[in-house]
């Protein structure tokens, strides 16, 4: 934004308000702020006489609104100090007299500065544009239609401030009732450029002046040629300007690289005793195959699991990168002092008994010690973490060794265990599983930054219940997601549903809608549930990035074709309109009563060659970007025959350099389970007994590819 | 509806319109129809002079609308024949002159009957009430808010006509923007009674006069004390009065009982040759363990699978209930004549090559033969059917023998195979699996009627792409669903999404929204996808019907608790507000840093006794109606220990006569899969790695129980 706003004018207004100890601006001040940032407001002037009022009204144009201006009259309407729809010079003159008389009758001592003569806008669609200070994301800007649409239907959308022109336009197009602004019932389309300009300017205003805790332009009236903020309401709060502590990208990477790829790990509270956490951690480190140094720390042991033990980490001869804490909470602070003195990069705090049990004081004390020594803390209250490229299982859970490119994190231990079990059951290739627990220090932002630079990681999936610094996360995610898909399961999304109806931006910003919009703005794929997050994580890395929006369904079961089409609509996928020549080409391979078009229904009784030929055609035609297969179990083409032919034809095209996403839904007797597994193991995302899951995974891949700017348009 | 409507007046209007060959009513006729059915319209009168116009206006009350009345002027506005907002006697007099002059200028030859003086309503919320003739459901009634809400957001709801008072009220409360009618921004609530009365009367009107193909009251203006239909538009179409052919419940049962529980089955086209459909059917009948008579029919064989074969069904000595056709389509008609002559109840037409390949003529011919003989047809183009209580596998697929109370039907063979595979994999107890294919004759309605009376069936799950007679289905489902849950997967639900914006009821009635509303009205549980249908079918019969809305989550993992709470909101479940005494009781069992409230978070490191005690408390307290368990895999309480303790405590309470639904989400390493299976086998609906599925099944059970009127209110 290189625009030349009059920041000094705003500062002057704020200084005056601050001088008077006010936490809100007057209407006139609000107008000055709008003027300074080029936000149109109704023309107005302060008249001190009937004659002036009439002159101003004639200059502004009828009709006008008249409002009493008096520092002693706050509730103008109650005082009879507002008259709308004054349409002639006579009405304005009489109105001036009436208002002044009413004001004097209301408060004989009131100082009357005059009567404000304001342009009365008589047409246009009401919208609301606002900005507020979100506890998670900081400055956010809001857009919605005015009136009941925003109050009752909560049809409002949010972005981080400041916004770009494209983002502002995406807000206007992103509300459910967007069609209204495009013109319905023959109305002219609203001036989207004018609206997006106001959105941008409001977002810049609160960015430049973070002490503006809330700005409400409500309503803004938009016509085919312009938009005007009719009412302006601005709140001030110095606390809204506070920026959270942040580490630089370099600082994060310096610590995280040592933590995730340590040359030496100490286990504080290592134990030889079965069932102790300090024993489980030692076993997992040793049996997991970690090849760096492992130093058990235990004041009472000389050797644990054939490793020399040390009374204190201070006694360890070499450098130590990571210290895993397997001791009760009350001993952590003292041990952390020693760990810090040793120059350890990361303290992995497995123990619970901190913030989550109400002992925030202890957690703060431990964090202060860590900061003093430059140690980063993972946890407390976690199961630990895995980093498979280093065979590192720094956890009290069971080891995991299926290497792959999926990194997963969880805020909850229970969800971490579900990640572990699912991964093992699905043989999902994993680079890392990390518990973040109470997030006293290291959070998703730090992990994203590490995984971004980590060649072993191709996708990041995160379970989270909150974000310590949502703005930092959003900015990092926006950067990372252009390179690697990020899947987020945001739990607690319905907690804020009960907020009362209100059209103030602050009240509209119910947690979840803000999360939803800003995660999308950041290119994050939001998973609707735990199982979806796990399936997306498993499937997305296997699918090549599609080159465009054209999806084709090839199905042996017409019934599956219908359900797969439903699923495409549900997941925002575009069924390609098959061009005539391609339609003819498909028809060559299918029975005369089969249906080309899309879905391509090859019918149920077909031999393997029909599946093969139609799939090969879909892969070879450059206009087709993705395939969804619907298989129907028959004697003619049994499940494993289908699976093998699909893998053969997909691999044949891969060998030619043609990579397209292929997913499959298998309907049949239990042999389809083995066939689905075989397909999955060979890069075709396949499921039995469901038409929804394969399409959901493909849809998630598309959501990422679109946000990352990797797709061409639909033909 | 015992109301005394003036049907003769409507008939007179319709007779006149019919006499003139019109397919729509004039505004005046529309008003007469409304008057006859007690639907309020604005006061109005026909003035033939200025003086009359002024007199009427003064009687009606200002402002008024003036409209030219001429049979020769259809487009009044275009002719300058409408004036609104006439607020004084002078305006009305002048307006009369203006309108008449405009009309004469527009068409000098027009016969001018006068000027309509109509009450102009100046306040109230716009709503739309309408009725249309749906191709599937026949007469349906619609309700929505007026203007952009209905046009852009499609915020409209439908019910079968006629509606009850409760149903009409449920429409008013059922739109998304319902809050608007309850009063927002300090507005008074709208007169719901007046609206529901109009809905009922419109629904009765189209029921009494089915040739009214569409009735649009748009807008209806509703205030705090009354509602008035401002514009009335009525279309006539004699075809809209056609009622589909129906069998009586007794006729259906007479046939279906013989078909589902046959004493003798003939296989037309039975074969000894491996790979032939006629061979697979024979094998499945024999190997499936069917104990009735099996008669192979084959002109060239004397014996098939050790059964005496007959050249023709005419040669079979005894009665035959069912004939399974395993011959090509072209031979079906002739064979069906013989089958009909034999007095067979049901012809199971496996062959394809009928309507689905474009050969509707052959299908119609076959149906005519069946009707002539009183034979009911299942199919054509199906895999056949299973009825496990009779060990009957009349299909070319593999046999299925896990008996249970779930009956499943599918319109598509592919989906039928998915049903079979899922059932076998999940060991789901099944009473029947039926393919309905082209539904030339037997449809979901017939099957519902049979399963209603079938003691072996406790739940019916149906995959369908369309309904031949949606009204009959809806009426049957409404009756059956009060006794047995009906789960429906309606495919093709997004096909009609592209209809253009319009506020005519007919255009608003996009297929899927009508299906959705009317299936719900019928007490049907709609499954969002194939896998959901299967999981609902499997889980719902295992769960006891809850006594009320109070759901309690007991979880070892706080993270699961949050996700389970999200899932409760998603599935319309009410988390109980735990009373103080119950909260205290829970707290006795959980650590001091655990969280009571709801979810009850017992924390992760707890022994089996903590799970046991809290679950027992939830089961024993009468105010708690359902339990959702969140398990977290730990060494202290391993998965199978958890599973067994849950089953033990649930069975202990069952033995005491206390039956409450209990579902569970298991987070952990792969041992949780075995534990989930064990729980499921013992009546606790449990899944690993998902917090969504167990809650979705419980939610489906609740949707059914609520619709069937079996629940008490939430405390």
Q: Does residue A582 register a pLDDT over 90?
A: yes
Minimum mean pLDDT range among A210-224, A230-244, A393-407 = A230-244
Q: Does residue B591 register a pLDDT over 90?
A: no
CB contact under 8 A, A491 and B559: yes
Q: Number of Cβ pairs closer than 8 Å across A and B?
A: 234
- Chain B hits for A156, CB-CB cut-off 8 Å, are none
CA angle A425, A427, A433 (to 5 degrees): 90
- Chain A hits for B529, CB-CB cut-off 8 Å, are 563, 566-567, 690-692
Q: In what order do the strands lie in the sheet with A44-47?
A: A44-47, A114-119, A64-69, A82-86
CB contact under 8 A, B421 and A669: yes
CB within 8 Å of chain B, chain A residues 134-163: 148-149, 151-153
Supply B673's token pair.
Answer: 């899969």
From A352, A422, A493, residue closest to B566, measured CB to CB: A493
**Measured between CB atoms, does B397 come within 8 Å of chain A?**
yes
From A176, A184, A692, residue closest to B501, measured CB to CB: A184
H-run or E-run covering A562? helix A558-570
Q: Does residue B603 register a pLDDT over 90?
A: no
Cβ–Cβ < 8 Å for B171, B163: yes
Minimum mean pLDDT range among A261-265, A657-661, B73-77, B390-394 = B73-77
Cβ–Cβ < 8 Å for B83, B65: yes
Cβ–Cβ < 8 Å for A632, A556: yes
- The nearest CA of chain A is from the CA of B419 a distance in Å of 7
- The nearest CA of chain A is from the CA of B480 a distance in Å of 26
Best-predicted range by mean pLDDT (B67-81, B285-299, B481-495): B285-299
Q: What is the pLDDT of residue B72?
A: 85
Q: What is the pLDDT of residue B499?
A: 32
H-run or E-run covering A516? helix A511-521
**Measured between CB atoms, does A308 come within 8 Å of chain B?**
no
- For residue range B98-114, list pLDDT tens digits in order: 999 999 999 999 899 99
Minimum mean pLDDT range among A181-185, A456-460, A684-688, B79-83 = A181-185
Q: Which domains does chain B have, with CATH numbers?
A: 7-119 (3.30.1490.20), 125-241 (3.30.470.20), 249-540 (3.40.50.261), 544-707 (3.40.50.261)
Closest residue of chain B to A155, computed from CA coordinates: B153
φ, ψ (nearest 5 deg) of residue B523: 80, 15
Q: What is the pLDDT of residue A186?
A: 72
- For residue range B236-289, list pLDDT tens digits in order: 998 888 888 899 999 999 999 999 999 999 999 999 999 899 999 999 999 999
Supply A704's token pair.
Answer: 């990422």
Q: What is the pLDDT of residue B507?
A: 55
Cβ–Cβ < 8 Å for B671, B639: yes
- For residue range A536-553, list pLDDT tens digits in order: 999 999 999 999 999 999
CB contact under 8 A, B415 and A275: no
Read off the pLDDT of each residue in A228-241 and give the average, rounded to a whole number.
91
- For residue range B406-422, list pLDDT tens digits in order: 999 999 999 999 999 99
Q: What is the pLDDT of residue B494?
A: 61
**Measured between CB atoms, does A413 come within 8 Å of chain B?**
yes
CB contact under 8 A, B593 and A557: no
**Measured between CB atoms, does B279 come within 8 Å of chain A?**
no
- For residue range B536-582, list pLDDT tens digits in order: 999 999 999 999 999 999 999 889 999 999 999 999 999 999 999 99
- For residue range A494-508, list pLDDT tens digits in order: 653 333 334 455 555
- Chain B hits for A351, CB-CB cut-off 8 Å, are none
Q: What is the pLDDT of residue B249?
A: 95
Supply A116's token pair.
Answer: 């404000």
- Chain B hits for A465, CB-CB cut-off 8 Å, are 559, 562
Q: How confident is the model at residue A271 (pLDDT cuts 50, 70, 90)?
A: very high
CB contact under 8 A, B413 and A491: no
**Measured between CB atoms, does A512 come within 8 Å of chain B?**
no
Local structure of B133: helix, strand or coil? strand
Q: Does residue A293 register a pLDDT over 70?
A: yes
Residue A615, CA distances (Å) to A528, A634, B576 in order: 31, 18, 52
**Measured between CB atoms, does A599 come within 8 Å of chain B?**
no
CB within 8 Å of chain A, chain B residues 612-651: 630, 632-633, 635
CB within 8 Å of chain A, chain B residues 29-88: none
- For residue range A155-206, list pLDDT tens digits in order: 899 999 999 999 999 999 999 889 889 887 677 899 999 999 999 999 999 9
Q: Does residue B501 register a pLDDT over 90?
A: no
In chain B, % of residues over pLDDT 70: 96
- For residue range A427-439, list pLDDT tens digits in order: 999 999 999 999 9
Helices (H), A136-248: 148-151, 165-174, 178-181, 192-208
Helices (H), B323-359: 332-341
Read off the pLDDT of each residue in B625-640 and give the average, rounded to a whole number.
94
Q: How confident is the model at residue A132 (pLDDT cuts 50, 70, 90)?
A: very high
- For residue range A64-91, list pLDDT tens digits in order: 999 998 888 877 888 889 998 899 999 9
**Measured between CB atoms, does B559 come within 8 Å of chain A?**
yes
Q: What is the pLDDT of residue A249?
A: 95
Which of A144, A278, A421, A574 to mutate to probe the B interface, most B CBs <10 Å?
A421
Q: Does residue B502 register a pLDDT over 60?
A: no
Instruction: List, in sequence order, every beta strand (DSSP E) within B341-429.
Output: 346-349, 376-378, 384-387, 392-395, 403-410
Q: What is the pLDDT of residue A328?
A: 96
Residue B66, CA distances (Å) to A545, B26, B100, B117 in order: 64, 16, 10, 5
- The nearest CA of chain A is from the CA of B706 a distance in Å of 23
Residue A408 CA to residue B670 CA, distance in Å, equals 17
CB contact under 8 A, A559 and B672: no
For chain A, the straight-line distance linking the first and the last C-alpha, in angstroms and rounded, comes to: 34
Burial class (CB in 10 A: 0-12, 13-18, 19+), A242: exposed
- The nearest CA of chain A is from the CA of B426 a distance in Å of 10
CB contact under 8 A, A491 and B152: no
- The nearest CA of chain A is from the CA of B565 a distance in Å of 8
- Chain A hits for B275, CB-CB cut-off 8 Å, are 635
ipTM for this model: 0.91
**Measured between CB atoms, does B556 come within 8 Å of chain A?**
yes
Residues with Cβ within 8 Å of B369's Cβ and at least 6 positions away in sequence, in order, are: B333, B336, B337, B340, B375
Q: How confident is the model at residue B613 (pLDDT cuts 50, 70, 90)?
A: very high
Cβ–Cβ < 8 Å for B34, B5: no
Minimum mean pLDDT range among A212-226, A293-307, A349-363, B134-148 = B134-148
How does the average pLDDT of chain B come out, rounded?
92
Q: What is the pLDDT of residue B244?
A: 83
- Chain B hits for A275, CB-CB cut-off 8 Å, are 635
Cβ–Cβ < 8 Å for B279, B273: yes
- The nearest CA of chain B is from the CA of A454 a distance in Å of 27
CA of residue B275 relative to chain centroid, distance: 40
Q: What is the pLDDT of residue B712?
A: 67
Residue for token pair 């008003």: B31
φ, ψ (nearest 5 deg) of residue A374: 70, 25
């Amino acid at each position: 934004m290189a625009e030349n706003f009059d920041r000094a004018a705003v500062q002057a207004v704020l200084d005056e308000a601050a001088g008077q100890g006010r936490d809100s601006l007057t209407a006139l001040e609000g107008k000055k702020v709008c003027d300074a940032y080029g936000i149109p407001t109704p023309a107005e002037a302060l008249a001190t006489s009937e004659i002036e009022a009439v002159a101003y009204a004639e200059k502004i144009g009828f009709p006008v609104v008249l409002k009493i201006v008096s520092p002693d009259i706050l509730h103008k309407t109650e005082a009879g100090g507002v008259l709308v729809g004054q349409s002639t010079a006579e009405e304005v003159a009489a109105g001036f007299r009436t208002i002044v008389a009413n004001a004097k009758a209301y408060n004989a001592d009131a100082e009357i500065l005059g009567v404000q003569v304001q342009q009365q806008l008589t047409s246009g669609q009401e919208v609301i544009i606002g900005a507020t200070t979100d506890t998670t994301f900081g400055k956010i800007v809001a857009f919605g239609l005015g009136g009941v649409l925003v109050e009752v239907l909560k049809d409002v959308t949010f972005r981080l401030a400041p916004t770009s022109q494209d983002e502002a336009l995406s807000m206007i197009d992103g509300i459910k009732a967007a069609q209204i602004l495009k013109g319905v019932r023959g109305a002219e389309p609203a001036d989207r450029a004018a609206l997006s300009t106001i959105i941008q300017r409001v977002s810049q205003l609160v960015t430049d002046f973070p002490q503006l805790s809330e700005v409400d332009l409500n309503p803004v009236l938009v016509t085919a040629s312009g938009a005007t903020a009719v009412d302006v309401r601005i709140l001030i709060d110095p606390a809204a300007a506070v920026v959270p502590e942040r580490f630089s990208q370099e600082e994060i990477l310096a610590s995280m690289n040592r933590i995730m790829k340590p040359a030496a790990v100490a286990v504080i509270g290592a134990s030889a005793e079965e069932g102790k956490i300090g024993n489980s951690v030692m076993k997992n480190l040793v049996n997991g195959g970690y090849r760096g140094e492992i130093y058990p720390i235990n004041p009472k042991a000389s050797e644990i699991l054939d490793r020399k033990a040390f009374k204190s980490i201070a006694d360890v001869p070499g450098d130590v990168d990571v210290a895993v804490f397997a001791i009760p909470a009350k001993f952590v602070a003292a041990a952390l002092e020693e760990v810090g003195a040793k120059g350890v990069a990361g303290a992995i705090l497995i123990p619970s008994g901190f913030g989550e049990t109400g002992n925030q004081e202890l957690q703060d004390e431990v964090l202060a010690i860590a900061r003093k020594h430059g140690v980063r803390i993972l946890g407390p209250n976690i199961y630990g973490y895995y980093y498979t490229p280093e065979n590192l299982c720094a956890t009290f859970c069971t080891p995991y060794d299926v290497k792959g490119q999926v990194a997963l994190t969880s805020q909850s231990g229970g969800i971490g265990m579900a990640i572990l079990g699912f991964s093992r059951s699905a043989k999902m290739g994993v680079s890392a599983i990390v518990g973040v627990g109470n997030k006293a220090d290291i959070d998703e932002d730090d992990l994203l930054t590490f995984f971004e630079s980590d060649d072993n990681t191709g996708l990041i999936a995160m379970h989270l219940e909150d974000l310590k610094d949502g703005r930092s996360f959003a900015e990092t995610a926006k950067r990372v997601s252009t390179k690697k898909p990020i899947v987020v399961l945001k739990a607690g999304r319905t907690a804020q549903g009960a907020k009362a109806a209100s059209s103030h931006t602050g009240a509209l910003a119910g947690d979840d809608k803000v999360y939803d919009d800003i995660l999308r703005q950041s290119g994050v794929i939001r998973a609707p549930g735990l199982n979806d997050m796990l399936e997306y994580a498993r499937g997305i890395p296997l699918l090549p990035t599609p080159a465009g929006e054209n999806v084709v369904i090839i199905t042996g079961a017409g019934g599956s074709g219908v359900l797969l089409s439903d699923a495409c609509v549900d997941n925002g996928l575009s069924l390609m309109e098959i061009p005539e020549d391609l339609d003819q080409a498909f028809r060559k391979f299918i029975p005369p009563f089969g249906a080309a078009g899309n879905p391509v229904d090859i019918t149920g009784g077909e031999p393997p060659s029909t599946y093969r030929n139609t799939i090969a055609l879909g892969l070879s035609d450059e206009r087709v970007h993705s395939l969804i297969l619907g298989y129907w179990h028959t004697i003619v083409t049994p499940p494993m025959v289908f699976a093998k032919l699909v893998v053969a034809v997909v691999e044949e095209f891969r060998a030619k350099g043609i990579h397209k996403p292929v997913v499959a839904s298998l309907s049949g007797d239990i042999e389809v389970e083995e066939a689905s597994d075989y397909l999955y193991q060979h890069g075709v995302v396949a499921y039995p007994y469901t038409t929804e899951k394969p399409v959901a995974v493909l849809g998630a891949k598309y959501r990422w590819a679109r946000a990352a700017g990797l797709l061409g348009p639909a033909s």
